[in-house]
Structure 1
Amino acid sequence: MSVKIDCSGATDTGRVRKNNQDQFLIAELKKSMLVQACSLPLEQQSRLFGNAQGHLLLVADGMGGHAAGERASELAVDYMIQRLLNSVHWFFRLEDDVEKDFLLHLQNLLQEAHQRILDDGVVNVENRGMGTTLTMAYAIWPRLYVVHAGDTRCYLIRDGQAECMTRDHTLARQLVESGGMRPEEEAESRWSNVLWNVLGGHGDGDITVEVSKATLQVGDAIMLCSDGLYRYLDEPAIADIVSRASSAAAACDELIRLANLRGGEDNITAVVGRYPRPLEASDLDDDFVAAPRDPSDEDTKPQGG
């Protein structure tokens, strides 16, 4: 069974920061064949593509002084693209007997990107200590795999509810899990912005790469985002917007608009992938707007689409 996915992403600097250290990637993976010579009327060196085999969704949130955070997230995404191109065969071999090896391969990709950032910091001393979070989802119907380091998030949205598939690698989350802090105190804690696990940073060893997986259903949606979004929108709001929007692009624009309206103190990135049910007569056919626009709200135009 093949189910079409509606994907879109957008990123915005927000209302306070001068530069955007967030990055995102949406990629459709296809098998292809490069024809070098043929007796049929095909152009030489033409490339023939098969059907889409899966989709990659990725969000990275850089950190570091000046432009170092932006460089760290750029390095991570660029490295992932290069390595994925050279290992795409893994993504088409997802029988149960190789799934464990596939997930280990994804973890190793993040470890390698981590080392790439550390190596760049050695060469460019002014960027030493730069780091980035990275959350990547690979969806090949009906399987969803998520690999993650940092505090960017991946949500699975089903039947009007959003479930976070990732764990924030912050000191505040560690305190909550150890019983040293109440869950309701986490969001406002000074430790909520302190990360213990990122690609790059000041560490010189391995990072912790967490893996989660799920079985998708028709009607599900996936949403990846940076902390500049979920600090202002809770899970019910995220689920409502993504579920009711007319498209993935409309959902991204509305998520970012509301995050800016409610503060916008950090860069804001959203990537949405939806597996919509067949439309019914009662479905909305206009762009969904979750809340009336405040006349005092400054005009914000997220980048992407």
Structure 2
Amino acid sequence: MSQYKIEAGTGQHPGDRQEQQDRVALFGAAKAPGFMMAVLADGMGGRTGGAMAAEQVIRTARQLFDEFSPLTGDIDAMLHTIAIEAHTIIKLSGLTVEKEPHSTLVVLVLTPSGSAHWAHAGDSRLYRYRGAAFAERTIDHSFVERLIEQGRLRPEEAANHRLSNILVNVLGSLREEPYITLGRHDGLQAGDAFLLCSDGLWHYFSDEEMGAAIAANSPRQLSELLIGQARQRAAGNKADNCTMAVVKLTAL
């Protein structure tokens, strides 16, 4: 068994938007003791449609996690099914609303054997830290990331690029089927931490800034600190919804 305990929390702010279209949640698994899930979705496509799309991601994740058993199921297969089922329902629901709803997805599952599994679609991110040290993060499914991969854009230019909000992969699209990128890390230990967040948060921080804040604060303190700083740094702009979930592994 793993020699750590899990501390987790979530935080949200609507930014300068009229409605909160992000959704975030933390779950235990009914049939898988010791497993936990964090899931975050950034809904888009009109006020009502965006919120509906993100809510559907959370609802689908919870339902499939409740049904998951490590004796008969595979975590990566479950993560893939969450994305595909949510995509299908959002797409069908879009036929009844004014605008095309769609959503990002980032989901993390921790196991009692000390492994972490995650998946994402879109530009909501997962960061992994060991103490304050940045270890890795997901790569956005965005137009600017494609430009970076092709050598046509430098990474430091991405955040302020005029097309930085254009995504190439989302759940709910009527034109293209989504793809999901999977990740895994084994050997979890006390001091490890994960941050899931929407672009309304990560846009305002470097990887190193967030690592220092995660290491020095409890989940609740961290949520208040990062969201407060994001609001200050967004002053003068029409800031997006700001949403996060943090999962920290601390010594017993």
The TM-score normalised by the length of structure 1 is 0.76
Identify the residue that residue 20 of structure 1 maps to in structure 2: 20
Q: Give the aligned residue type for 2:232.
A: L
Contact 2:133 2:211 in 1 (8 A): yes
Identify the residue that residue 213 of structure 1 maps to in structure 2: 184
**2:34 corresponds to which of 43, 53, 60:** 53
Q: Give the aligned residue type for 1:5.
A: I
SS at 2:29 equivalent: strand
RMSD: 1.8
Identify the residue that residue 190 of structure 1 maps to in structure 2: 162
Identify the residue that residue 220 of structure 2 maps to in structure 1: 249
C-alpha distance after superposition, 1:94-140 (max 9, x if no partner) = 9xxx7xx4312321221111011001112x1414x210001000011
Contact 1:72 1:130 in 2 (8 A): yes
**2:144 corresponds to which of 168, 172, 178:** 172
Distance 1:28 1:235 in 2: 28
Distance 2:8 2:212 in 1: 17
Distance 1:229 1:30 in 2: 31
Identify the residue that residue 68 of structure 2 maps to in structure 1: 88
Q: Give the aligned residue type for 1:147.
A: A
Identify the residue that residue 10 of structure 2 maps to in structure 1: 9
Q: How does 1:56-75 map to 2 (within 5 A)?
A: 56-75=37-56
Identify the residue that residue 249 of structure 2 maps to in structure 1: 275
Does 2:199 match 1:227?
Answer: yes
Distance 1:58 1:125 in 2: 25
Contact 1:153 1:164 in 2 (8 A): no
C-alpha distance after superposition, 1:49-85 (max 9, x if no partner) = xxx4111001100111232111110122112222322
Q: How many residues align?
A: 246
Identify the residue that residue 113 of structure 1 maps to in structure 2: 86
Identify the residue that residue 131 of structure 1 maps to in structure 2: 102
Distance 1:66 1:156 in 2: 31
Contact 2:49 2:97 in 1 (8 A): no
Structure 1 residue 30: Cα displacement: 4.4
Distance 1:218 1:79 in 2: 30
C-alpha distance after superposition, 1:142-200 (max 9, x if no partner) = 10000110100011111312234311011000000111111121111122100010001
- Name the larger-Rg structure: 1
Contact 2:195 2:246 in 1 (8 A): yes
Q: Give the aligned residue type for 2:79.
A: L
Q: Give the aligned residue type for 1:59.
A: L
Contact 1:165 1:212 in 2 (8 A): no
Identify unmatched segments of 5+ residues in structure 1.
33-51, 279-305
Runs ≥4 in structure 1, deviation > 6 angstroms?
none
